[in-house]
Amino acid sequence: MNPEDVVQRQLVAYNAKDLESFLAQYADDVREYRPPASEPFLEGKAALRTYYGGQRFVLNGLHAEVVQRMVVGNKVADHERIAGIRDTPVEGIALYEVTDGLIRNVWFYSDE
C-alpha cells in the first residue's frame, strides 16, 4: 500500500471528523510525538480515539490544509495549516511513518 494514500485517507477523515475512518489508518500501537518532547504525546489507538474524538473533532471550524507534501520511502511529510484550533491557523509539519499500510509513528512540529 502506498504510504501517501494512507496519509491522504487520514487527512480526508480528519477534515470530515470521521473518527472511525481516521482511526482505521493507524496501527494499534501508534505513537504521536510533539517535539521537542522525546516521550510520546499519545500512545495507542485508544488514546488517539480519546484525544481526537473528545478534543479535536468537537471543534466546529476544524480543517487541515496541506500546503506542501513530500514522500520519501515510507515517510510522508506534510506542511499543514490547521484552522479551528485557535484564533489563527496553526502552521505545522507532520511527519508520518507508514508500516504495513498503517501509520505507526507521527511527529508533529508546530509554530506554537
Which tens digit of pLDDT belongs to each residue from 36-68?
A: 999 999 999 999 999 999 999 999 999 999 999
Q: What is the pLDDT of residue 1?
A: 76
Global pTM?
0.95
Going by DSSP bridges, is the β-strand pair 63-72/26-33 parallel, antiparallel, or unpaired? unpaired
Alpha helical stretches, state H, the chain: 3-16, 19-23, 45-51
- Look at the chain and report how many structural domains it folds into: 1
- The enclosing domain of 23 has a CATH number of 3.10.450.50
- Give the C-alpha distances (Å, rounded to integers) separating 11 from 4, 61, 110: 10, 15, 17
Q: What is the pLDDT of residue 111?
A: 84
Q: What is the pLDDT of residue 39?
A: 97
Stretches in the chain below the pLDDT threshold 70: none
Among left, alpha and beta (phi > 0; psi -120 to 50; other), residue 72 is beta
Segments forming the whole domain that contains residue 24: 3-110
Which residue has cell 499543514? 80
